[in-house]
Homo-oligomer: A and B are copies of this chain.
């Protein structure tokens, strides 16, 4: 797919255009709608478009307070309420429910900051594994990943510069990696998730998809604040996690090595993270917490098992079979690991980098790929930014995730920005016929 100059710009580009008065929010909305009209019959990133977007954009253009996200045209994952639109959660079980009476808190906040909700993006069924109809804009035979399939694809296809997603296991990191966009998982608990249909309160986190690290850092700054400053030297220590035993592919392993070498060349002290024992436990505990909480928090779904997928039914049944004690023990182990990792990063400084997925996007017919590389960090509720730029020999995107601790997101952004530049320079392979 052509992703040339007819794209809407990156978020900061758009904001700059609007703030400088060269374009209005209405024009940006119209451009995004045009792009969707042209390409979405193929990409299928959008579940529904808002009929109010143009009117909302006019209202933003009429504002006199110059809000910081004025002109940001945003896609909203269809598990997140937008007033006036039904929240379908990618499920036939919710076909044509009533429109949401109110928007989710996060939607209200970004709209107050000047953003316009363009519509709802496709999600896997209830943000689990039954696929959405969305294709990967970079390679139509590949999955865009899930569960934030439409949000990642809409950004990758240049339809919008910002989309809201979520992550309970690997629902933002994986589609960002597969589609070649930036994905940020916000630290668990750092923003209010009211109005978002989650699966697991201890794990559900907000996701943001953008085209650049600076774009996502800007939105994070507005939503959460700046936290501790990055290392003034600009040479943040980098601890490399290679995902041993998690079925990482050879092309992804090569991308991680290239990322580590590139950061080292930029002056970052690079060391290996010896964390396999924790990862092994976290990867097993994460699904325990997720299944138990899904069964406990969504008894309504189990009663509609004829309307939901086998995968989701199995998650809920599995969750019902997990006793309270098993669940509590898993939670304690996750908290212990997090405490140890915070201690490690406090003492040694810096961030962790590693593979964002096992490899490039799998074939679309096989599902939405594996969240396994995200489970350890998600089980600890940590903020993560996935950086695009690496590619396989045939041109498929590979993401590198940068993980840190809450309140020190500035370090993550600093390393992610360097990595974004390094990977763009070293990625000399051009996409082949498949891309």
Q: Which residues of A contact B (CB under 8 A)?
A: 128-131, 133, 141, 244-245, 247-251, 253, 280, 284, 287, 310-311, 314-315, 358-360, 362-372, 392-394, 433-434
Min CB–CB distance A318 → chain B (angstroms): 9
Min CB–CB distance A434 → chain B (angstroms): 7
Q: Tell me if A314 and B249 are in contact (CB < 8 A).
A: no
Q: Tell me if A311 and B365 are in contact (CB < 8 A).
A: yes
Identify 5 new A-B residue pairs, CB closer than 8 A, beyond the known A247-B249, A247-B392, A363-B370: A245-B251, A287-B363, A358-B359, A366-B371, A367-B368
Min CB–CB distance A291 → chain B (angstroms): 9
Q: Tell me if B359 and A247 are in contact (CB < 8 A).
A: yes
Closest to A251 in B: B247
> Can you pick out 29 interface pairs between chain A and chain B where the beta carbons lie within 8 Å of each other?
A129-B365, A129-B367, A130-B310, A131-B311, A244-B393, A245-B251, A245-B392, A245-B393, A247-B249, A247-B251, A247-B360, A247-B392, A248-B249, A248-B250, A249-B250, A249-B358, A250-B253, A280-B394, A284-B434, A315-B365, A358-B359, A362-B370, A362-B372, A363-B371, A363-B372, A366-B368, A366-B370, A366-B371, A367-B368
Given contacts A365-B128, A366-B369, contact A394 B245 (CB under 8 A): yes
Min CB–CB distance A284 → chain B (angstroms): 7
| Chain B residues, CB < 8 A from A392 | 245, 247
| Chain B residues, CB < 8 A from A244 | 393
In the assembly, what is the distance between CA of A367 and CA of B280, in Å?
A: 22
Q: Which residue of B311, B364, B370 contacts A314 across the interface (Cβ within 8 Å)?
A: B364
| Chain B residues, CB < 8 A from A280 | 394
Given contacts A133-B314, A366-B370, A372-B363, contact A287 B247 (CB under 8 A): no
In the assembly, what is the distance between CA of A393 and CA of B248, in Å?
A: 13
Q: Tell me if B247 and A310 are in contact (CB < 8 A).
A: no
| Chain B residues, CB < 8 A from A250 | 247-250, 253
In the assembly, what is the distance between CA of A392 and CA of B244, in Å?
A: 10
In the assembly, what is the distance between CA of A253 and CA of B245, in Å?
A: 13
In the assembly, what is the distance between CA of A245 and CA of B251, in Å?
A: 8
| Chain B residues, CB < 8 A from A310 | 130-131, 133
| Chain B residues, CB < 8 A from A366 | 129, 367-371
Closest to A131 in B: B310
In the assembly, what is the distance between CA of A415 and CA of B363, in Å?
A: 31
| Chain B residues, CB < 8 A from A359 | 247, 249, 358
